[in-house]
Amino acid sequence: MAIQLTKNTKQILIKGTEIELNSVYVRIAFTCNYDATISVTFKTFLSHNSFTENNEIYTDVSNIPFEFAILNTETQSLDVALEYMKNKFIELGYNATII
């Protein structure tokens, strides 16, 4: 599973250039912490094929680790991590869809 990002109020630029992308493919990695939080990092790719070929693309999408406190009713899982990241990307000004 991954997240497809497209521009909304925020553009997606190749880092250090003015080249705008219509969308990027985002793969996440997450860590389940003892205190019921999850830490999430991600990498961006042009497409699923670029991901399978390990061709990461560097964009201006803020690539800092995010930490989320999950609800007592949620489990520390891939589905929860993807949902939190999708919502974070939307908050940052992108359209985000879990694919």
* Length of the chain, in residues: 99
Reading the block at residue 66, the tokens are: 């995010």
Residues of the chain with pLDDT > 90, as a percent, come to 95
The C-alpha angle with vertex 73 and arms to 3 and 89, in degrees rounded to 5, equals: 25
- pLDDT at 44 (0 to 100): 96
What sections of the chain are H helices per DSSP?
A: 48-52, 78-91
pLDDT reported for residue 46: 96
DSSP alpha helices (H): ranges in 15-77? 48-52
pLDDT of residue 62: 85
**pLDDT tens-digit map of 28-73:** 999 999 999 999 999 999 999 999 999 999 999 988 899 999 999 9
